[in-house]
Amino acid sequence: MKARFIKLFTWCLFVGLAVPEFAHAAAAKVANIVIVADTRKFTGWEAWWTNLYNESHLYFALLTMALIPTIGVLFGTFADFLMGFIGIDLKSRDLAEH
């Protein structure tokens, strides 16, 4: 029984690892994938943003990493102001758990 299991495992390992390599070797060479965004329907800042993505993924990533925390702080500050304006005070909270 153990020998049969080892043969089955070896066969499955061969099929799983070797056969895809044979199929890949037989396939025709393909070009590398190019990742771009479609800018035909965008205007203004959306067109600029997608063109930045198409031209340089590095600049796009750096600008995105700089903008996300900045926008988060602006939205958080605005939400804090708005909640204070309607009467919700989050600065002087008494803990009910203690």
Where exactly are the structural domains of the chain? 1-30, 38-98
Distance CA 30, CA 52 (A): 27
Residue 89 pLDDT: 77
Distance CA 53, CA 60 (A): 5
Distance CA 80, CA 88 (A): 9
Contact 59, 52 (CB under 8 A): yes
Predicted TM-score of the model (pTM): 0.55
Residue 35 pLDDT: 83
Contact 39, 50 (CB under 8 A): yes
Q: What is the pLDDT along the chain (98 residues), one digit of tens a residue?
A: 777 777 777 766 666 666 655 666 555 666 777 888 888 999 999 999 999 999 998 999 999 999 999 999 999 999 999 998 898 877 776 666 65
Residue 27 pLDDT: 59
